[in-house]
């Protein structure tokens, strides 16, 4: 492969981080979830014992407790999760400056050109995976390919410390049989449009007429067709890169129903004051300090926690 792109995915991220904080949780069915009272009452992540009991991500807390009466539900601590996942990504940054986050739990990193320093890039990726586990006790699945799209697909194929290599020689066997919705950027509506064209697998999409997909879906159709064929050559962005925001927005889940125009105006006033495309200065995982850490890795509270946050 002329490029070696790795995609890492922290399995059951929030649940694993809570188990790192309190190892006793590994021996009971546990999930991280919202608050039913505040209408955020869904399962965000669950450990293996909860999964074995039938608990599903994104289902209601009520349904999860019906399946597993002994389920321990913890409220999420996003500031600590952010800090700890950045510590994990700092391991990647020891070997390359091209580390691009994709949410808290996922990241791409580019090991192209590291052979003279660290040896075979594939073996380096395996060593990094083991280093994360040894340092944090966190299981990370990894996919390796010559492009970002297939690397992400690879990390999804085996979620238990998996390590999948997708090459120009084997991608037709590994990637093309997968459902078309497994391809990044394909949501439910796009899936239905592709299915209506008779395209149900990534291979179906790759082997159809690209112009027909473009005519049906527009510009994104051509992009998806190229990705399915392995033509994605987009670079992994350098650490710290920030694209200019194209839009800003704000949202909030209300605890109670809004029944009057006056109440609606009050909500709108708060939302209009809070939109921001970037965190305030000093906020972020590298700017945390003060107070004792609730985490073995030394996570602290965020310096920007006083900012009004929407969502």
Residues taking part in catalysis:
106
Cα 56 to Cα 261: distance, rounded to the nearest angstrom:
38
CA proximity to 99, closest of 232, 5, 3, 183: 5
Terminal CA-CA length for the chain: 42
Contact 106, 89 (CB under 8 A): no
Contact 161, 133 (CB under 8 A): yes
Cβ within 8 Å of residue 131, ≥6 positions away: 91
Give phi and psi for 259, each to the nearest 5: -120, -10
**Per the structure block, which two tokens stand in for 10?**
């922290």
């Amino acid at each position: 492969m002329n490029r070696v792109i790795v995609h890492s995915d922290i399995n059951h991220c929030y649940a694993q981080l809570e188990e790192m904080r309190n190892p006793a949780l590994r021996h009971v069915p546990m999930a991280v979830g919202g608050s039913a009272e505040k209408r955020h009452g869904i399962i965000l992540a669950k450990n293996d014992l909860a999964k074995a009991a039938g608990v599903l991500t994104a289902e209601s807390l009520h349904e999860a407790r019906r399946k597993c009466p002994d389920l321990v539900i913890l409220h999420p601590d996003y500031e600590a999760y952010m800090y700890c996942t950045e510590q994990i990504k700092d391991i990647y940054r020891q070997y390359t400056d091209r580390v691009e986050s994709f949410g808290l739990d996922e990241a791409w990193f580019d090991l192209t050109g590291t052979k003279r320093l660290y040896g075979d890039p594939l073996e380096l990726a395996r060593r990094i995976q083991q280093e994360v586990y040894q340092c944090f006790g966190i299981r990370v699945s990894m996919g390796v390919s010559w492009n970002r799209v297939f690397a992400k697909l690879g990390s999804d194929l085996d979620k238990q410390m998996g390590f999948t290599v997708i090459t120009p020689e084997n991608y037709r066997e590994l990637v093309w049989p997968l459902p078309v919705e497994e391809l990044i950027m394909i949501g439910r509506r796009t899936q239905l449009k592709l299915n209506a064209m008779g395209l149900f697998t990534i291979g179906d999409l790759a082997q159809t007429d690209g112009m027909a997909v473009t005519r049906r879906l527009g510009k994104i159709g051509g992009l998806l067709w190229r990705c399915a064929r392995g033509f994605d050559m987009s670079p992994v962005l350098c650490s710290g890169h920030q694209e200019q925001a194209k839009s800003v927005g704000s949202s909030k889940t209300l605890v109670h129903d809004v029944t009057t125009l006056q109440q609606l105006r009050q909500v709108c006033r708060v939302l209009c004051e809070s939109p921001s495309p970037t965190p305030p200065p000093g906020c972020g995982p590298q700017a945390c300090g003060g107070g004792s850490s609730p985490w073995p890795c030394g996570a602290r509270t965020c310096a920007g926690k006083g900012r009004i946050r929407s969502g």
